[in-house]
Structure 1
Amino acid sequence: MPNKIIGGDITNSLGIAKLDIGSRKKVIVTAGFMGFQNVSQTVDVSSSTFIDIKLPPQAKSIDEITVIAKSKEQLIRESPEAVSVIGAKELQGRAVTIESFLNRNTGIKIRQTGGLGSSSRIMIHGLEGNRVKVLVNGTPIDMFDGMFSIDDIPINTIDRIEVYKSIIPARFGVDGLGGAINIVTKEFDTDYFDLSYEIGSFNTHKVSNMFRKNLPEKGMLIGGGGFYNYSLNNYDFHVPKREHLKVEQDHAKFESYMLKGVVKFTKLWFDQISLELGYYNRFSQMQGVTDNIQHAHTKQQMYSIENKFEKEGFISRKLNFTMHNNFGHTCNNFIDTSAYRYDFEGNRWLSQSIYGETGDVPHNSNDKGVSLNSRINLDFLASRNHSINLNSAFSYSKRNPQDELANQYANYAISGYPNKLTSLISSLTWEAKFASKKIINMLSAKHFYINTKVEELGSHVQQNTSTVKQNTSNNIGFVEAIKWQFIPDFHLKASYQRAIRLPATNELFGDGVLIIPAANLKPEQSHNVNFGLLTDKSGVLCTKRLQFETGLFYMNIKDMIAFVEQYRVAGYANIEQVEIKGVEAELKLDINKHFYTYANITYQDARNILKYDPISNSPNPKYGLRMPNMPYLFSNFGLEYHNGELFNENWFIKLFWDGRFTEKYYYSWKLSSNQSRTIPSCFINDIGVSAELKKRFTISAECHNIHNSEEWNLYQTPLPGRSFHVKLRYTFLKSRDYQ
């Protein structure tokens, strides 16, 4: 009777195992594996030293298994950084813009100047403009000469929106003080098709399309898409400072479109190599609010090339490599050549400056620019609990402003001067996990290098004269962030950043005529501190899921750059020091499987703390005053009903209500108790319904600002009133795993 050997060893990755049988002549070997039947085989060792055992599959019914895993959005929320995340499910099927959706988030306020396509400023924790960075897939959109708006991006193409508050992760390789918004678009490795059309009030039309085709046998994925946006923006408003006069906006037409194509390779040495080509075109009429502008408009074009390299196990199996490159060529045209000016009563008269409605000289500019951005990320997993990230972001931009018509009338290069900007931002981040990953710490150091050059041209009388001026700056910043999960589902956060915001070229060198150069301008610096509490727990107080987050924030900004006008001379200077204190809180509650509600509130108190005017060295009359033109108290709230079983399993119905409130605030310094120049408080309500059939067809209908309340922004700029929107969407995904 031969000896029986059960187990004895575990096979390697090729399914090979070695057994020590001693002096036995015959043995019975039994092999088994989960999901397969056990097989026993008698082996005559004297005639064979190698045997091949094949296991037949075993069909076995098991009880239902529930797998619980945290989503990508939840993992980001639980990171040590002060961050909020808007997921694709929240955006799905909505007939809204990205900016209007961001406006409902805690700590964020969008400052718009009109309807679709109008300029806007994003405020995070009281800081806005260049102090807040906006990125798409980690690439700053300001590299494209500021022409591209995030509202142009179709909401269907977005996977998630990450909002970093007072903290800018080192891995993005950008400067800034107030934080960053990173819009991450969807990526598919299978066949995908998405087509949507939206029609809305004020003659608004929005079309978007995206498709992907996977060719796995060739290791390729090809795709493309684009969008088209159009609106007349012909809404009614009361003329500022003339509230008795209500008019219809009749010169605010906006039109934009983009076309893109992408090819991705997956069977080369790199795990992934992608190439994307794009073309963007934009037209917008100048929107008059205090003056009735009738002819001035802008036209813009952009060509872009983007490519990406990814490799896991780069040189070492513990090292991952990513390189992301962007190149853009832009052309901006501003046309303002009207011989007449107009008012809102219908009067017309000859322009005092001969031509032009917006300034003292006519314009017919043809500004060209090129931009290059290259970002390299190296992630090294030193151990299970320690990783190191090295990031390097190189940026180069060149601008060549040209406006011969304006220069001719001014006798100077009033359109600006040719300039170049080169920057290199490098960072090193160490992430460590302790106490069974209950404590996560991130420490980053950042180095900022910037070099700017401008060629100052002479007047038309001295066309051959030119002077080159430059500015070079080196600065160090760092970030420390820690998170502690002190009990299950409860997380405490704390972070500190020494933030740097580098001066822009126009701030450094002005325009040589109306705005004087400020070549010695220093970078803005800020000490940002955040404390937060986050919980995400199921089954609390008979509810399905409860999410609660609250935070305290503090910022002390010095060398703040401001525009100064004095004795007919204007320019930029480091003349402000600001202190911001604030608190925010948000509650999201899945009451049951059909009802969801949310509410958030933000209070931010920004004060001027500069005691003496740095120019006159006299006491600063604005010391201790709240910063003007800045909302300090605002709140958002809403209720949603959703049901996938109302009719049958093929339909998913969603009804929702969203509300937002903003307390009134002063749009200029409150130097007197009799100051009455305020932007009034407003309470805006939106409602809507969405129906999805078989996860392919979606129809949505929404009404924004249902009470037609007057809403003002940015120095009493009127925003559109009540509007209606209907959106149709068709989606095809070969694998329905992604939602």
Structure 2
Amino acid sequence: MSPISAWAQEPAPSPAPAEVKVKGSLSEGRRRQQSAEAVTVVDLRRAQQQSSDLGEVLARTQGVSVRRSGGLGSNARFSLNGLYDDQIRFFLDGVPLGAAGYPFGIANVPVNLVERAEIYRGVVPLRFGSDALGGAVNLVSDTRYDTHARASYQVGSFGTQRMSVEGRYRHEPSGFFAGGSFFFDYAKNNYRVDVEYTDDRGQLHPINAPRFHDRYVARGASVEVGVLDRPWAHRLSLRAYGTSYDKELQHSVEMKVAYGEVEYGESVYGAVARYEQPIASRLELKILASYSRRTIDFVDKSIYGYDWYGRRTSGPGTPRGKGFPGEIQENAASDQTQGEGTGLARGVLEWSLAPAHVLRVVLAPTRATRTGEERISSRTSAPNPVNTDRSLFTMVSGMEYEANLFGDRLQNIAFVKDYVFHISSSGAGSVALSRDSHSFGAGNAVRLRISKPLYVKVSYEYATRLPSSDEVFGNGVLARPNLELEPELSHNANAGPRLELRRTPIGDITADVNAFYRDSDRLILPLPGERYLQYQNVNRARSFGLENALTWSTLERRLTLDGTLTVQDARNASSEGPLGYLDGDRLPNRPWLFASWGARFRIPGLPSQRDTLEPFYMGRFVHEFYRGWPSLGTQEYKPLVPSQITHNVGISYTVYGGPAVVTSTLEVQNVTDERVYDFLGVQRPGRAVYLKVSGEI
């Protein structure tokens, strides 16, 4: 496990250990961590007691950067070893995150509904049945099938409220189980920011004003029923869900222009069915089928302009008239809805050739269709891509062979993958287009155990990432379609040792070091035009780096210290094309040096025998980086995201009362009120105070 799992997530030992329930996810997580797979396992149970969201928690893991354009609910960019966004695939219990009920991205998934995160670095296991360029993140929910219930409630600065409830019931004689979950998130995000205000004479003045149009509301629920351990089904389950969010948009990309009425949101509902059953003595079948319906709304039709005080500065009844509606771009108002239906299936056939040898075959087709409606007619003659019918079909298949040799001292996993890609687009006023693509991939992962606490991993994959629907079809707002996009390709390699010393005279020590290399071709990047942007295959990039993590704790875990450090160098390797003249330049707008550290002190038996106090501290550093290409422009005028250090402190109080465990946490984030930026000009929240209460029975 990574250091964050060791100090920020592991449940504290109880003064009455016999009454603390031990969950199966930890042993499964350790098994996954010690396999040949290039994975970092982050146990999230400690984070469930604290106020940081999932994005902030994952950002403390080596090799991971999560950058946000604001507070809770804002857009987030996830980076793993220098590759970004759709180049990384996200899952919940093996189901693509969007098709599992979370369309708002991984950073905003409620942390209290997730047990652990598995971060796969560049080499993605075949069992996911998915393409990926730079890796994958699999969020694993509570895998217990016993009767339990838990809930949490958080309140704090900037009008923040977060609530989650989860539970499950199991009838042992019949194997029947039923469970459900619910969450609700709300934030005004009215933190103060430093901006420039234009007065009536057109002069700029620096001011400090609260954000007034940045509200975020999300809600969701799911129910699951099924049976376990029956003669005709090892597992049969059906999960139905529905989630949605609404978000106000406060400002332009660089926070230079305020908006007062622009809004967007999404909703998704669907179902996931699973069936697992041995069909012979050494042959097991696992089937997954899912369908989801996603609706995306975007509204920008105000006839007014706004300043940073929330006052109307143009439009009817103001000194300055406004010709046409639309705040983001005048005369480009929009009131649109897009609908996307996605159906996916995945079959895994696992054959135990011998006790230490397993052969797996996977077949995973996916089909997505998208339609839309723009309710405001354009003043141009060009057809609006929102009003076209578009479809995307992919199929990932392959074979994997796993061997465990010499008493599990050596594990080797070799695999081959096949990718099929088909897109089509047609509709009124547009030209019917279609395109097909076919490619292959392969990889191998090795784990050699040198001694019980020390092992070394080496892995490689020739990876493929198929274009997403937004990249191919556009998003109907600023991104135009490009059906000529080619899949991205990458050579990904990892190598490094891991040391897990437990119960030594000086305590527990975990050290993890990993060197990585990525050689990626046909990278898909958004290129801006006069009014719109379009995704294109434009460049080749190489990146390499070193990530490491260290944790130390005393024998009884009274004191735990940890730290992570990541250094990465990602550069343009294109000698031709539109970026050929920048060959060798560091890729812009990407952090290249970042670190985190923390400490926790556990005081059992205080204030009473069955209680525990845990003061904790977390720090994070990000080195400055250029927003643009480093070789362009003069040094003093290059846009720069500054270096920054943030500190969080808090204290948790846990009461063990019979079968129930209740934890209350008071936490102060960004204690020094640092001006924090993840993107040029876009200020993130300052000092914030949160109170969170969570309980389980």
After TM superposition, the score normalised by the length of structure 2 is 0.89
Q: Tell me, what secondary structure is at the counterpart of 1:75?
A: helix
Q: Show the 5 A alignment for 1:436-455.
A: 436-455=407-426
Q: Which stretch of structure 1 is more off in the superposition, 300-309 or 643-652?
A: 643-652
**Stretch of structure 1 that moved more, 318-327 or 106-115:** 318-327
Q: Secondary structure at the match of 1:630?
A: coil
Q: CA deviation at 1:512?
A: 9.3
Which amino acid in the other structure matches residue 274 of structure 1? S
Q: Which residue of 2 aligns with 1:474?
A: 438
Could you tell me how far apart the structure 2 residues matched to 1:353 and 1:561 are?
A: 37
The counterpart of 2:182, out of the listed 207, 220, 226, is: 226
Residue matched to 1:60 = none
More displaced 10-residue stretch of structure 1: 641-650 or 161-170: 641-650
| 1:693 maps onto 2:655 in alignment | yes
Return the match for 2:455 from 491, 494, 506. 491
Is 1:248 aligned to residue 210 of structure 2?
Answer: yes
Work out whether residues 364 and 406 of structure 1, in 8 Å CA contact, stay in contact via their aligned partners in 2. no
Tell me the percent identity: 24
Aligned mates of 2:474, 2:36 — CA distance in 1: 40
Determine the structure 2 residue equivalent to 1:274.
237
* 1:263-284, Cα deviation, whole Å (9 max, x unpaired): 1123461122111111212111
Query: Which amino acid is the alignment partner of residue 265 of structure 1?
Result: V
Match of 1:557 in 2: 520
AA at the equivalent of 2:399: L
TM-superposed CA distance for 1:711, in Å, is: 0.7
Distance 1:81 1:571, change over 3 A: same
- Structure 1 385/104 Cα, relative in aligned 2: closer, same or farther at 3 Å? same
- Separation in 2, partners of 1:145, 1:196: 20
Q: 1:409 to 1:652 in 2, by over 3 A?
A: farther
Match for residue 87 of structure 2 among 115, 131, 140: 131
- The alpha-carbon deviation at position 227 of structure 1 amounts to 0.6
Q: Distance in 1 between matches of 2:602 and 2:94?
A: 33
- 8 Å CA contact 2:55–2:108 kept in 1: the answer is no
Selected match of 2:618 from 622, 636, 658: 658
Residues 1:728 and 2:689 aligned together: no
Counterpart of 1:384 (choices 347, 351, 355) is: 355
Deviation of the 1:716 alpha carbon: 3.0
What's the counterpart of residue 28 of structure 1? Answer: none
Q: CA deviation at 1:292?
A: 1.1
With over 3 angstroms needed to count, the CA separation of the structure-2 counterparts of 1:353 and 1:529, relative to structure 1, is: farther
Q: How far, CA to CA, are the matches of 2:171 and 2:29 in structure 1?
A: 29
Question: Does 1:214 find its partner at 2:170?
Answer: yes
Q: Could you tell me whether the CA contact under 8 Å between 1:406 and 1:414 is conserved in 2?
A: no
Equivalent runs, 1:66-85 vs 2, <5 Å:
71-85=27-41
Alpha-carbon displacement from aligned partner over 1:136-180 (angstroms, at most 9, x marks no partner):
111112447983333443322222110111221111111121111
Letter in 1 for 2:457: K
Q: Within 5 A, what are the aligned runs for 1:224-623?
A: 224-239=180-195, 244-266=206-228, 267=230, 269-288=232-251, 289-311=255-277, 313-314=278-279, 316-344=280-308, 346=311, 348-350=313-315, 352=322, 354-359=324-329, 360-407=331-378, 412-413=383-384, 415=386, 417-458=388-429, 466-510=430-474, 517-540=481-504, 542-565=505-528, 571-593=534-556, 594-612=558-576, 614=577, 620-623=580-583
1:78: how far off? 1.4
Is the 1:323–1:376 contact (alpha carbons within 8 Å) kept by the matching residues of 2? Answer: yes
Task: Give structure 2 stretches of 5+ with no counterpart.
Answer: 1-24, 198-203, 316-320
Alignment-mate amino acid for residue 552 of structure 2: L
Task: Tell me which residue corresponds to 1:641.
Answer: 601
Offset at 1:663?
A: 0.4
Which one of the candidate residues 682, 686, 696 is aligned to 2:644? 682
Q: In 1, are the aligned partners of 2:92 and 2:100 still within 8 Å (CA)? A: no
Mapping 1:47-196, distance limit 5 Å: 71-143=27-99, 147-196=103-152
Could you say which residue in structure 1 is the equivalent of 2:677? Answer: 712
- TM-aligned CA deviation for residue 195 of structure 1: 1.6
Of residues 581-590 and 136-145 in structure 1, the stretch that sits farther from structure 2 once superposed is 136-145
1:199 to 136, 155, 165: 155
- Once the two structures are TM-superposed, the CA of residue 565 in structure 1 deviates from its matched residue by 4.1
Q: Is the 8 A contact 1:396 1:420 kept in 2?
A: yes
* CA offsets 1:365-390 (integer angstroms, 9 cap, x no match): 12112111212222211111111111
> Contact conserved, 1:582 with 1:605, CA < 8 A, in 2?
yes
Cα offset for 1:201?
Answer: 0.6
- The answer (yes or no) to whether the contact 2:101–2:243 under 8 Å persists in 1 is no
Please say if residues 426 and 448 of structure 1, whose CA atoms lie closer than 8 Å, have aligned partners that are also in contact. yes
Listed one character per residue, the Cα deviations across residues 485-516 of structure 1 (whole Å, up to 9, x for unaligned) are 12231111111110111122343354799866
The 2-side partners of 1:400 and 1:512 are apart by 11
Give the equivalent residue in structure 2 for 1:737. Answer: none
Indicate if the aligned counterparts of 1:239 and 1:246 stay in contact, CA closer than 8 A: yes
Please identify the structure whose Cα radius of gyration is greater: 1
SS in structure 2 of the partner of residue 344 of structure 1? coil
Farther-moved stretch of structure 1 (186-195 vs 114-123) = 186-195
Amino acid at match of 1:481: A
The 1:384/1:649 distance shift into structure 2, 3 A limit, reads farther
- 2:420 and 2:196 map into 1 onto residues whose CA distance is 44
Aligned to 1:13: none
- Distance verdict in 2 for CA 1:330–1:539, change over 3 Å: closer
> Are residues 243 and 235 of structure 1, via their aligned partners in 2, closer, same or farther at CA, if it must alter by over 3 Å?
farther
Q: Alignment partner of 2:506: what SS?
A: coil
> Relative contact order (C-alpha < 8 Å, sep 6+): which is higher?
2
Question: Aligned to 1:333, what secondary structure does the other structure show?
Answer: strand
Contact persistence 1:324–1:376 (CA under 8 A): yes
How many angstroms apart in 2 are the aligned matches of 1:353 and 1:223?
A: 55
Supply the distance in 1 between the matched residues of 2:567 and 2:334 (Cα, whole angstroms): 43
Give distance in 2, aligned partners of 1:690 and 1:307. Answer: 38
Deviates more, 1:413-422 or 1:577-586: 413-422
Equivalent position SS for 1:508: helix
CA contact (8 A) 1:141 1:148 kept: no
Q: CA deviation at 1:412?
A: 2.9
Asked whether the 8 Å contact 1:361–1:410 carries over to 2, the reply is no
Tell me the CA shift for residue 707 of structure 1: 0.5
> Partners of 1:356 and 1:596 in 2: how far apart?
53
Corresponding residue for residue 55 of structure 1: none
Paired amino acid for 1:183: L
For 1:414 and 1:196, the matched residues in 2 are separated by 43
Using the TM superposition, give the Cα deviation of residue 245 of structure 1 relative to its aligned residue in structure 2, in angstroms.
2.6
In structure 2, the residue corresponding to 1:488 is in which secondary structure? coil
SS in structure 2 of the partner of residue 171 of structure 1 = helix
Equivalences, count:
650
Task: Letter of the 1:441 partner, please give it.
Answer: N
Distance 1:370 1:608 in 2: 36
Residues 276 and 514 of structure 1, relative CA distance in 2, 3 Å threshold: closer
User: Which residue does the alignment assign to 2:17?
Assistant: none
The one-character-per-residue Cα deviations of 1:557-578 (angstroms, maximum 9, x if unpaired) are 1111223346778533322111
Unaligned runs of 5+ in 1: 1-68, 459-465, 733-739
- The equivalent residue for 1:10 is none
User: Quick check: 1:601–1:634 contact (8 Å CA) kept in 2?
Assistant: yes
Alpha-carbon separation, structure 2, partners of 1:167 and 1:544:
33
How far 1:198 sits from its partner (Å)?
Answer: 0.6
Deviations 1:76-135 (A, max 9, x none): 121112211111443241222111100100000001111111111100000101101111
Q: Is the 2:418–2:441 Cα contact (8 Å) retained in structure 1? A: yes
Q: Provide TM-score, normalisation by structure 1.
A: 0.84
Contact 1:240 / 1:717 at 8 angstroms: preserved in 2? Answer: no
Give the aligned residue type for 2:394: S
After TM superposition, the structure 1 stretch with the greater mean CA deviation from structure 2, 251-260 or 329-338, is 329-338
